[in-house]
Structure 1
Amino acid sequence: MARIDYLKAQVARAERLAKAILDQHTAERLQAFAAECRAELQVLSLKPAA
């Protein structure tokens, strides 16, 4: 469960930074990172609890 909380925090942080930053390339990389975290969250949420 800790990994899920970590990923949720990273998504929120990356999206917040992407909106505030002026450099377009960095903003795009932050959005891509947020998308990767969301994809991992989706995979983790489908796994049954151990």
Structure 2
Amino acid sequence: MVRIEYLKRQIARAERLAKAILDRQTADRLQAYAAECRAELSELTLKTAA
């Protein structure tokens, strides 16, 4: 459960920073990181539900 909460916070933080930052490359990297966290969160959620 700790990892799930961590990933949720990281997703929110990365998306918030991506919206606020002016550098397109950095914003894209932050969005990609958020997508990676979302994928891991999805896997963990499925494992804990099973």
**Same fold, judged at TM 0.5 (above):** yes
What does residue 43 of structure 2 align with?
43
What does residue 2 of structure 2 align with?
2
What does residue 17 of structure 1 align with?
17
User: Going by fraction, where is helix more abundant, 1 or 2?
Assistant: 2
CA-CA distance at 1:48 after TM superposition: 3.3
Kindly, what percent of the aligned residue pairs are identical? Answer: 76
What does residue 30 of structure 1 align with?
30
> 1:29, 1:48 → 2: CA distance?
29
Structure 2 stretches lacking a partner, 5+ long:
none
RMSD: 1.0
> 1:10, 1:21 → 2: CA distance?
16
Number of residue pairs the alignment of both structures matches: 49
CA-CA distance at 1:47 after TM superposition: 0.4
> 2:39, 2:10 → 1: CA distance?
12
Structure 1 stretches lacking a partner, 5+ long:
none
Q: Report Cα offsets for 1:1-50 as digits up to 9, x if no partner.
A: 0000000000000000000000000000000000000000000000036x
Amino acid at match of 1:29: R
